[in-house]
Structure 1
Amino acid sequence: MKAEEVLEQYTAGSREFSALDLREINLSGANLSEASFSRADLSVANLASANLSRTNLSQTNLSAAKLNSANLSKAKLNRAILNVANLTMADLREASLVQAELIKAEMTRSDMSGADLRGANFSNADLRDAKLRYANLSQTNLSRVDLRHAILTEANLEQANLTSADLSSADLTGANLSQAELRQANLSRANLQGANLSGANLRWADLGGANLRWADLTGAKISGANLTGADLSYATLLNATLVHVDLTRANLAGVDWSGADLSGSTMTGLKLHGVSPFGIKTTGATCRWIDLSQNGDQSQIYTFATDNCQEYFNETPPIVQIVIDDRLNTDANCALAVTYQQVARQCGFLAPPPEIEVHLRRTTLTFRLERDEQLLITAYVAIFPFEDHKITQQTLMDLLHQIPTQPLSQDAGQIRQFQQLVTLLGQQVQQVNAVKLLQSIPIALKKMQFFQAPTKTILVNSNNQQLTLYHNPKFGKHPIATAQSDEVLNVLKQIQTFKPPSTEAAIEFVKGFHPSL
């Protein structure tokens, strides 16, 4: 069928042109809106500037067709073949191209905002400056695609294949790239702010200068990638793999990277304000200095004295453990949650909430902390709901009063810094209004057996040094039913006297605090 016949029939009201042989037909500038060319052969056709809005082109062969500046908004192109087609500046807004073939298609400055592109094959296509806002590209093949300066804000790229794609300076703000394949992709200077990259494969990708603020990289594989100068502030890197990554002068302020593996990485010049140095692997990593200043202006620098990154970074976070010699039941669990909520409101020192491990006759509360200096004040506050709180707190206060008087080093500066730290800890404890806190604890709690049970409080610093702050002599012991003589009871009483940690042990424990303190 010739072009004149198609236009004549369309003008007469016909819209059905399915399965026709229309190869090399010239319909440039024609109005064919809402027509059906399903399964037709339009290869090498000239449809430049044509109005094909809402047209059905499903399973149509449009190989090497000219569709530049064509209006294909809301058109159906499911399983259409558009290999090597020219779609420059084409309007494909809200079009459906599910499983369409667009290999080596020319699509610069095309607009596919809101389009359904699931499972489509764009391999080696040119999508420079294309608009793909809110487009659905899940499981789409975008390998080796040129997406420089493309706009993909809020686009869905879940499980998409972007191997070796060029996304330099592309805007992927808020995009969903979870489980996406991005090996060797070029994302230099790309905007990935708030993007979801959880589980994505970014091995050997170039992310130099990229904006990854608030991005979710949980479990992402980033080994061998270039992140020099990248902004990862407030990003989530939980359990991410960053082996042999170049992070030179990257901004990781406020990042959450617990469980991340940075073995063999280059970390010199990292901006790490407000970042916990614990819970990460840095075996074989290199770092000469890091920037801890709030504004990233290098006003607070930590310089490494050795080549070992574990001088500053550590896999083990400081923890406070309270072990209760009883099983936590439902009522006690509810009471504990309410009590800790009240305690946190009163003094603001109890955060985060504890991990709870319950056994048949024993319960362990574990507080994982971000800084060593939180250890003593957390122990002081966390024990409040329990009968053992008075003696535990008194032991802690006695140690604090003794530590500053002891000789620590020949270096006067180190002595002064150490004593300032101990003074700060003492001031934190004094700020806690014990009377007010005790008044906030529910009366019903004091009647529960769980809170009357013997306890022991253990502190572990970031250097993995342990200090038993208090161990109730009755812990693990059960009443003997048979009567005992006075002599035996006196012997048992002497044996059951708690011996507090020595001043020397406390000094060594505090000296093991993280060097940034």
Structure 2
Amino acid sequence: MEIEELLSSYANGERNFAAINICEAQLSGVNLSGAILTKANLSLANLSRANLSKSDLSYAKLNVTRLSGANLSEAKLNYAILNVANLILANLGDAELVEAALIRAELIRAELSRANLTGANLSNANLREAKLRQSNLSRSNLSSADLRGASLIAANLEGANLQGADLSRADLSSANATNAEFKQANLSFCNLSGANLSGTNLRWVDLRGANLRWVDLSDAKLSGANLTGADLSNTNLHNASFVHADLREAKLMNADWTDANLSGANLTGAKLHSVSRFGLKTEGIICEWLDLSPDGDRTQIRRLSPDEVRKFFHQTLPTIQIIIDAPLDHESHINLATAYYEIAQKYSPLSQPPTIKLSHRRTMLTFAMENDNQLFSAAFAAILPFVDSEATQRNLVRFLQILQEENLNILQEKEKAKIKNIAEFLTAELSQTFQIKLMKSALNIHKKLQFFHAPTQTVLCNSSDQTLPVYNHPNFGKHWVKSANFVDPDEITAIESTKYTLPETSIISNFVKNFTHN
């Protein structure tokens, strides 16, 4: 069919031109909207600025075809072959390109928003500054593609191959790239805020200066990645691998990297305010200094020797232990669970129930905290169901008063100021829980239950594995008889009764001095 015949037939209402062969045709600016061109051969044709919106080009051959500025919105190009095609500034919005071949295609500034590119081959394609918002690129091949400055906001890249691709300064905010392949890709200064990169391979990726705020990078592989100056604030890094990664001056404020592998990583100058450090693998870690200031403005610099680095990155979980000098019976257990549920409604750090260790003589409740800063206020709330609550709470308040007194037995004035600042912060935290005391009469604990009248001990343990006894009832353990053969490791020991006295000021100050108040 000649070109004149094609255009005449289209003008007369004909739309079905399936399998037409118009290779090298000159069709610049033509209107073929809605035409059926399945399996057509349009290779080397000139269709620049043509209107092919809503047309069906499935299985068509468009190798090296000129489609610059063409309108292909809502067109069907499933399984079409567009290798080395010129689609610069083309409109492919809402188009279907499932399994399409676009190897080395030119798509500079092309409109591909909401397009379906599932399984498409875009290897070595040029998509610089292209718009791919909400597009479906799952299982697509974008290896070595040029996506510099492209917009992939809320795009689906699940299982996609972007190995060696250049995405510098691209916008992938809120994108889904779970289990995608980014090995050796360039993501420098890229916006990935709110994206899902769980399980993604980011080995040897360039992420310098990238925005990774609120990103899910759980189980991601970032070995050898360059993250210098990247912003990972509030990011989920659970079980991520950073082996030999470069995290110099990266922002990690409020990030969760529990069980992450940081072996051989460089964290010099990293910003780690409010970052927990539990269960980390840190063999061979490099870290000369850290920024612990809340705003990452270097107002709280901490320099670390190699030995201090090891200690800093090997925290233990802060805990509150309440030992009750009585076994936990069934009715008391129900009352205790109800009481802590009601307390948690007012004080969220106790939303997780305690672990309970039982023996036929004693009960131990252990509350795990997210950070040291919660220990005093959480202990103030946790003891509330027991008769010993008044005495225990009184001691907690007294500790904080001691830490703010002028006669602190601290050798250096700088340390004294640091401890007083921490104490002021903890006092503010504690003051917010004073309303918890008003709940005591409303907890509906059965007054006849002896379990809540039994003597108690309360002990705090900070993230440096230091302990601080808060309260020990004078009658704790008095009704016991110590056996010389008492060696059962499951029993709660230390059975001699001793009258509690406030710890020395130096013990209290050393306990809070090592708080991760950052």
TM range (shorter): 0.7 to 0.9
TM-score scaled by length of structure 2: 0.83
Deviates more, 1:269-278 or 1:220-229: 269-278
2:192 is aligned to 192
Structure-1 separation of matches of 2:44 and 2:435: 86
Q: Distance in 2 between matches of 1:127 and 1:229?
A: 26
**Structure 2 unmatched runs, 5+:** 481-493
Is structure 2 residue 318 aligned with structure 1 residue 336? no
Give the conservation status (yes or no) of the 8 Å contact 1:354–1:368: no
- Displacement of 1:335: 3.4
Trace 1:294-305 onto structure 2 (pairs within 5 A). 294-305=294-305
Structure 2 distance, partners of 1:444, 1:227, is: 53
Structure 1 counterpart of 2:66: 66
State the 1:170 CA deviation: 1.0
Partner-residue secondary structure (3-state), 1:122: coil
Please report how far the alpha carbon of residue 428 of structure 1 lies from its aligned counterpart in structure 2 after TM superposition. 6.0
Q: Report the Cα distance in structure 1 between the residues aligned to 2:349 and 2:435, rounded to whole angstroms.
A: 21
Which structure 1 segments of 5+ residues have no match? 345-349, 479-493
Root mean square deviation of aligned Cα: 3.6
Pair 130,436 (structure 1): closer, same or farther in 2 beyond 3 Å:
closer
* SS at 1:444 equivalent: coil
Residue in 2 aligned with 1:43? 43
What's the counterpart of residue 87 of structure 1?
87
Tell me the CA shift for residue 18 of structure 1.
1.3
Please give the secondary structure, in 1, of the residue aligned with 2:155: coil
For residues 433 and 260 of structure 1, do their structure 2 counterparts lie closer, same or farther at Cα, with a shift above 3 Å needed?
closer
Shift of 1:131: 1.0
Q: Which residue of 2 aligns with 1:238?
A: 238
Q: Distance in 2 between matches of 1:414 and 1:392?
A: 30
Change (3 A) 1:388 1:55: same
Partner of 1:270, secondary structure, is: coil
Query: Larger deviation: 18-27 or 153-162?
Result: 18-27
1:357 to 350, 355, 358: 355
Matched, 1:370 2:408: no
Do the aligned partners of residues 78 and 329 (structure 1) sit closer, same or farther apart at CA in structure 2, a change above 3 Å counting? farther
Residue pairs, 1:271-350, within 5 angstroms: 271-278=271-278, 280-306=280-306, 308-322=308-322, 325-326=327-328, 332-342=336-346, 344=347
Give the 3 Å change call, closer, same or farther, for CA 146–443 of structure 1 in structure 2.
Answer: closer
- Alignment deviations for residues 301-344 of structure 1 (CA, whole Å, 9 cap, x no partner): 112244642343334232223456426856643432112323x3
Please state how far the C-alpha of 1:397 moved relative to its aligned partner. Answer: 6.4
State how 1:432-511 maps to structure 2 within 5 Å: 437-447=437-447, 449=449, 451=452, 456-467=457-468, 469=470, 497-498=497-498, 500=500, 503=503, 506-507=507-508, 510=511
Structure 1 residue 256, shift from structure 2 partner = 3.0
Indicate how the Cα distance of structure 1 residues 21 and 267 shifts in structure 2: closer, same or farther if over 3 A, else same.
Answer: same
Partner of 2:99: 99
Q: Which moved more, 1:350-359 or 1:28-37?
A: 350-359
Quote the Cα distance in structure 1 between the aligned partners of 2:447 and 2:353. 24
Q: Distance in 1 between matches of 2:435 and 2:10?
A: 88
Alpha-carbon distance change, 459 to 92 in structure 1, aligned in 2, over 3 angstroms = same
The residue type paired with residue 171 of structure 2 is: D
SS at match of 2:9: helix
1:346-391 deviation digits (Å, cap 9, x = unpaired): xxxx6253344367876744231322x5423422331112234245
Aligned residues: 495
Structure 1 residues 335 and 82: alpha-carbon distance in aligned structure 2, compared to 1, 3 A threshold: same
Native 8 Å contact 1:287 1:307 kept in 2: no
Letter in 2 for 1:26: Q
Would you say the 8 A contact 2:467–2:511 is kept in 1?
no
Deviates more, 1:356-365 or 1:205-214: 356-365
Paired letter, 1:28: S
Task: Tell me the CA shift for residue 227 of structure 1.
Answer: 0.8
SS in structure 2 at match of 1:302 = strand
Contact kept in structure 2, 1:376 and 1:425, CA below 8 Å: no
- What do residues 423-453 of structure 1 show as CA deviations (whole Å, max 9, x unaligned)? 6589569847869714454252244857556
Moved more, 48-57 or 330-339: 330-339
- Show the counterpart of 1:168: 168
Q: Separation in 1 of the partners of 2:164 and 2:349? A: 43
CA distance, structure 1, for counterparts of residue 135 and residue 59 of structure 2: 21
Cα deviation for residue 183 of structure 1 reads 0.9
In terms of mean alpha carbon deviation, does 281-290 or 308-317 score higher? 308-317
Q: Distance in 2 between the 1:433 and 1:307 partners?
A: 37
| TM-score between both structures, scaled by the size of structure 1 | 0.83
CA distance in structure 2 between the aligned counterparts of 1:79 and 1:303, rounded to whole angstroms: 58
**Which aligned pairs between 1:174-185 and structure 2 lie closer than 5 A?**
174-185=174-185
Checking the alignment, whether the CA contact within 8 Å between 1:465 and 1:512 is kept in structure 2 is no
**Counterparts in 2 of 1:184 and 1:426: CA distance versus 1, 3 Å:** closer
Aligned mates of 2:333, 2:49 — CA distance in 1: 73
Cα pair distance change 1:23/1:440, threshold 3 Å: same
User: For 2:42, what is the secondary structure of its paired residue?
Assistant: coil
